[in-house]
Homo-oligomer: A and B are copies of this chain.
Amino acid sequence: MAEERNERPLRHDRHSVVACALRLLDDVGLPDLSMRRLATELEVQPSALYWHFESKQQLLAAVADRILSAVGELDPSTTLEDAAQAILDALLTYRDGAEVVMSTYALRLGAHGAQRALLGVLDGDQSAADALFEFILGHATLLQQRMHAQSIGAVAADAADPAEHSDEVFQAGLHAFSAARSRH
């Protein structure tokens, strides 16, 4: 399994480090995803991780790109609704996926594929594409926090729960961005 690169023998390449980080994310969640814990999981010293990633933020950016990797393969004829739904689905696939992407996008790292897809369906309007991405991230973050709260029993099962109209809210947002585009 050992791999030679840049004169230094490494047991793991970038790809396998990111894959392990993603598994760990699903297991423990973002707050507990530390470089130390990831190193333990990979059976290496934490310093070995910095051989691949200069900081935790750089690692999280690679994780964010992996989370959104399905979005990069969209057909050019994809609609705004389909692109947005593909991004939402990708974010919701992994525990804390929305928060990982939010935190790296805040530093302008990662998520480039999703941004390109939105730019495509919004006819190259950069501000609108960024705004739509911010809406999707806000929606996904709220949804994941709510699902997490329900899973640990922090929200009463019989509470009036507008999660049930969550899809309607998402469609209302997409409708707005579609409406604005067609008026240009």
Tell me which of B108, B126, B138, B146 contacts A107 (CB under 8 A). B146
Q: Which of A5-13, A43-51, A98-106 contacts B (4 or more CB under 8 A)?
A: A98-106
Count copies of this chain in the complex. Answer: 2
Q: Determine if A41 is an interface residue (Cβ-Cβ < 8 Å).
A: no
A175-B180, A176-B180 given as contacts; is B108 within 8 A of A161 (CB)?
Answer: yes
Q: Determine if A170 is an interface residue (Cβ-Cβ < 8 Å).
A: yes
The residues in A between 92 and 148 inclusive whose CB is less than 8 angstroms from any CB of B are: 102-103, 105-108, 125-128, 130-132, 134-139, 141-142, 145-146
CB–CB A102/B142 < 8 A: yes
* A103 CB contacts on chain B under 8 angstroms: 145
CA distance A163 to B106 in the complex (A): 9
Tell me which of B127, B135, B159, B169 contacts A168 (CB under 8 A). B127
* A155 CB contacts on chain B under 8 angstroms: 107-108
Residues of A with Cβ closer than 8 Å to B?
Answer: 57, 102-103, 105-108, 125-128, 130-132, 134-139, 141-142, 145-146, 149, 154-155, 159-162, 165, 168-173, 175-180, 183
Can you name 14 A-B residue pairings with CB atoms under 8 Å?
A102-B138, A126-B165, A127-B169, A128-B175, A128-B176, A131-B170, A132-B173, A135-B138, A135-B173, A137-B141, A138-B141, A141-B141, A176-B179, A179-B183
